[in-house]
């Protein structure tokens, strides 16, 4: 009789568009978090974390129902309590909700907040585009002055430049509710003339939200977009002055920028300044923009708060990690252990547990592999880790109350009284650091 093959269990796989952040990448993540919080501290931003889940209406209203993010990409569902919820596709709307809900209007204005938070968009997964991704962001609520727009751009510019990235600041103004209607009428007229040449998606946008045609990445739309009327030519006096001031402040800060009328952003809440950070200056940089932001003076009121001007920026962490890793940017590595603690036999294992704690408390970074019994395997591991010394406790050392110190460089071994191990190992480590520095 032929024996049936045992059924192979299917190994689980990542959900499409998700990404594991493996140990070898963590140092880049840690470094980015460090750079973001250092910048935040310098410029007086306080950290905020809002929940991943919000009521779906917050995004429908805040980001706009006719945007790709809300219409096509948002994960939303009705929970067991019949609440209509969504996984946040971005953080700004949640921050504004928190600003209103916690009465931050009563604090000294402006309120400056920053975050590093996961977001979710059901986009087509491709290079630099995930369905769960992290954003770091800076938001300033309660200040209309153009100087704050320039400051937000300056923070992000400095942040990316400190990571040696050849970025460009692409900037535009999308006007305000006073001057945008006249522009939208012109834009609609223009695209209507070319309706036959527009992509299907853009024909649908024409009726709902013609501004979104300017974000289109469809091939047939691109030549039409280049010649489309531009918002900057329709700005009202106030918006024009505001924009000129932003540019003047950037010049004062010596921040180079590229005026780019196509930076209208994919979310509906923007007014006046909009900007994106691209790698390089070419149009291709847009597909993988490192970040984007702008002014959103109407959002607080739209979400139920008082009229409050605001401006902010968010950058994608995955895209930033991939840039600095591919360009071989040297991020500081976590300090390596300098000592390995090896044990032989049951009694010795017990003793090393407390020795490990004592070494740790004395500030000495130690590695161990308590599960392994053989000395050879432990020494091999110590060698691989590149430690300076291995401490060995076996049966004999337990009886004699001693511990053996093995110098991994020359293989010399010395037995010392176990009660003196901390000062002894500290002395040797200091010596080996001095030797290292002299090399």
Binding site for ligand HAM (CB under 6 A): 90, 92, 121, 123, 128-130, 133, 135, 137, 139, 266-267, 289-294, 296, 312-316, 318-319
Whole-number minimum distance, CB 73 to ligand HAM, in Å? 8
Query: From the CB of 167, what's the least distance to ligand HAM, in Å?
Result: 12
Contact indicator for 146, 80 with CB cutoff of 8 Å: no
Distance in Å, CB of 69 to ligand HAM, minimum: 7
Q: Are 343 and 351 within 8 A, CB to CB?
A: yes
Nearer to ligand HAM, 210 or 291 (CB): 291
Task: Please report where in the chains the tokens 């005026």 appear, as a residue.
Answer: 259
> How far apart (Å, rounded) are the C-alpha atoms in residues 214 and 268?
13
Q: Which residues are CB-neighbours of 19 under 8 A, at least 6 positions away?
A: 130, 132, 133, 318
If the CB atoms of residues 210 and 293 are measured against ligand HAM, the closer one turns out to be 293
Nearer Cβ to ligand HAM (119/187): 119
Nearest Cα residue to 379 out of 341, 410, 348:
341
Q: Toward ligand HAM, which CB reaches closer, 17 or 394?
A: 17
Q: Which residue is listed with tokens 């992000």?
A: 156
Cβ proximity of 320 and 32 under 8 Å: yes
DSSP for 205-236 reads HHHH-GGGGGG---GGGHHHHHTS--GGGG--
Q: Which is nearer to ligand HAM, 90 or 221 (CB)?
A: 90
Residue in the shown chain whose Cβ atom is closest to ligand HAM: 316
Of 130 and 340, nearer to ligand HAM (C-beta) is: 130
Give min distance, CB of 296 to ligand HAM, in A: 6
Measured from the CB of residue 195, what is the shortest distance to ligand HAM in angstroms? 28
Integer Cα distance of 149 and 154 in angstroms: 9
Minimal distance in Å, beta carbon 222 to ligand HAM? 19
Residue 46: C-alpha distances to residues 25, 111, 308, 316, 390 (Å): 26, 9, 19, 19, 44
User: In the complex with ligand HAM, which residue's Cβ is closer, 231 or 352?
Assistant: 231
DSSP-assigned letter for residue 66: T
Distances 434 to 337, 343, 411, 422 between C-alpha atoms, Å? 17, 29, 19, 18
Classify 182 as helix, strand or coil: helix
User: How many CB atoms are located within 10 Å of the residue 126 CB?
Assistant: 10
Task: Name the residue nearer to ligand HAM (CB basis): 131 or 338.
Answer: 131
Query: What is the SS3 assignment for 398?
Result: helix
């Amino acid at each position: 009789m032929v024996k049936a093959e045992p059924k192979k269990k299917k190994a689980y796989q990542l959900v499409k568009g998700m990404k594991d952040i493996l140990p070898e990448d963590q140092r880049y993540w840690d470094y980015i978090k460090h750079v973001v919080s250092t910048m935040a501290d310098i410029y007086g931003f306080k950290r905020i974390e809002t929940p991943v889940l919000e009521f779906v209406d917050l995004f429908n209203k805040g980001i706009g129902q006719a945007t790709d993010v809300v219409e096509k990409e948002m994960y939303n569902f009705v929970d067991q309590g019949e609440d209509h919820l969504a996984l946040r596709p971005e953080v700004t709307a949640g921050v504004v909700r928190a600003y209103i809900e916690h009465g931050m209007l009563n604090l000294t204005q402006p309120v400056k907040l920053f975050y590093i938070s996961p977001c979710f968009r059901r986009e087509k997964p491709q290079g630099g585009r995930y369905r769960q991704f992290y954003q770091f962001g800076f938001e300033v609520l309660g200040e209309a002055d153009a100087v704050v727009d320039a400051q937000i751009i300056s923070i992000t510019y400095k942040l990316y430049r400190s990571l040696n990235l050849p970025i460009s600041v692409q900037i535009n103004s999308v006007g305000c509710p006073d001057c945008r209607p006249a522009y939208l009428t012109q834009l609609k007229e223009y695209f209507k003339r070319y309706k036959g040449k527009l992509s299907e998606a853009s024909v649908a946008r024409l009726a709902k939200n013609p501004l979104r045609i300017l974000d289109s990445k469809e091939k047939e739309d691109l030549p039409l977009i280049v010649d489309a009327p531009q918002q900057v030519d329709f700005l009202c006096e106030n918006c024009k002055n505001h924009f000129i001031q932003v540019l003047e402040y950037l010049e004062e800060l010596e921040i180079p920028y590229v005026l780019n009328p196509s930076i209208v952003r994919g979310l509906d809440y923007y007014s006046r300044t909009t900007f994106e950070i691209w790698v390089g200056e070419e149009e291709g940089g847009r597909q993988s923009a490192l970040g984007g932001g702008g002014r959103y003076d109407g959002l607080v009121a739209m979400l139920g708060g008082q009229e409050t001007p605001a401006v902010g920026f968010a950058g994608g962490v995955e895209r930033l990690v991939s840039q600095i890793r591919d360009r071989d940017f040297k991020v500081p590595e976590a300090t390596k252990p300098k000592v390995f603690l090896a044990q032989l036999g049951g009694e010795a294992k017990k003793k090393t547990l407390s020795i490990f704690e004592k070494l740790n408390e004395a500030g000495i970074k130690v590695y161990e592999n308590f599960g392994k019994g053989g000395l050879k395997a432990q020494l091999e591991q110590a060698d691989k880790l590149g430690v300076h010394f291995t401490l060995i406790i076996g049966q004999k050392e337990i009886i004699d109350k001693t511990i053996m110190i093995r110098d991994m460089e020359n293989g010399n071994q010395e037995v010392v009284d176990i009660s003196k191990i901390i000062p002894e190992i500290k002395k040797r480590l200091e010596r080996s650091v001095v030797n290292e520095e002299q090399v």
